[in-house]
Copies of this chain bind each other. A is one copy, B any other.
Amino acid sequence: MLITTGGSEALMLACLSILDPYTEVIIPEPYYPNYTTFVHMAGGGIRALPTNAEEGFRYAVRERIESLITKNTRAIMITNPGNPTGVVLTQEEMRMIADVAKEHNLYLISDEVYREFCYGDGDGVPTMGRFRDIDENLIIIDSVSKQFSACGARVGCVITKNKELQHALLKFCQSRLAVATIDQIGATALYTVDADYYRKCREEYRKRRDLVVEQLQKIPGVMVQKPMGAFYIMAGLPVDDADKFQKWLLEEFDDNGDTVMFAPGAPFYETPGKGINEVRIAYVLEEEKLVRAMELLEIGIRTYRKDIMKVQEI
């Protein structure tokens, strides 16, 4: 376990340690857009594993993953629970992905920074680390940012049992000397919280998720499924272009001085043209603010469709 400047540096060092020019990483799309920079930084490319909203963005299908493996494939990279989709893999799906990595001699980069945010019953905290037969393949990414709402501390880590990889990662870590000292001391204290802290967080976020999903389902034309983890919802909106709609919301729309902001969906996709009408909603605000945000989204969509798209009500 090597401490890094946030999960970001952990991802960057993992990519630099395992990728060479022209190698590829298989990543289910939509995915966290900064993965692109980390992979490209190391000279690699992304082979997107397509998913779709109708299937709830689920990607763990052996045939689909294996169809993307070539002689240049170096790794499979997943975020579990998923950003932006909130998808949580089942134990069977995790085992299958571990098997694929092992059978094809690939690294498996498992970004588990949302690990504590799972809303299913009794599944426990999901980690690829439990499959000890893939110790040589596995790289786990973790961070204090989400678990402790401490993203400004920039403390994360990269974890692997692979000795050769430890050696490469350590070289990169030594070359940039250290992670900020005060923040490491602070982060150490964060890990002294008891299980109750995680339980309360999970309950609070589950309530927020239920509230946002319920509100979204009331808006005509919005396509949404209830995600089982992280604190994001990827929703399809009845607009022509979510990016254009977002700019309009920020620059031209207001309701009693308020407006609403989300992350337009297209940058989460590698495949051009996908996610144009999708948005990632982060339910990280208090409940009353989320209620108002959803109200603003509803008014915004209605007004935008009438005034800008010039279409009839659905």
What is A's interface to B at a CB cutoff of 8 Å?
Answer: 5-6, 8-9, 12, 16, 21, 34, 36-38, 41, 43, 151-155, 171-172, 174-183, 186
Contact = CB atoms under 8 A, between A and B. Distances in A.
Contacts of A183: 180, 182-183
26 contacts: A5-B5, A5-B9, A5-B176, A5-B179, A6-B176, A8-B176, A12-B176, A16-B41, A21-B43, A34-B175, A34-B177, A36-B175, A37-B171, A37-B172, A41-B172, A153-B180, A153-B181, A154-B177, A154-B179, A154-B180, A154-B181, A180-B180, A180-B182, A180-B183, A182-B182, A183-B183
Nearest to A9: B176
Nearest to A186: B182
When all copies of this chain in the complex are counted, the total is: 2
A183 to B, nearest CB: 5
A272 to B, nearest CB: 19
A43 to B, nearest CB: 6
A303 B78 CA distance: 58
Contacts of A176: 5-6, 8-9, 12, 34
A34 B171 CA distance: 10
A22 to B, nearest CB: 10
A144 to B, nearest CB: 11
Given A21-B21, A21-B43, A180 B37 contact: no
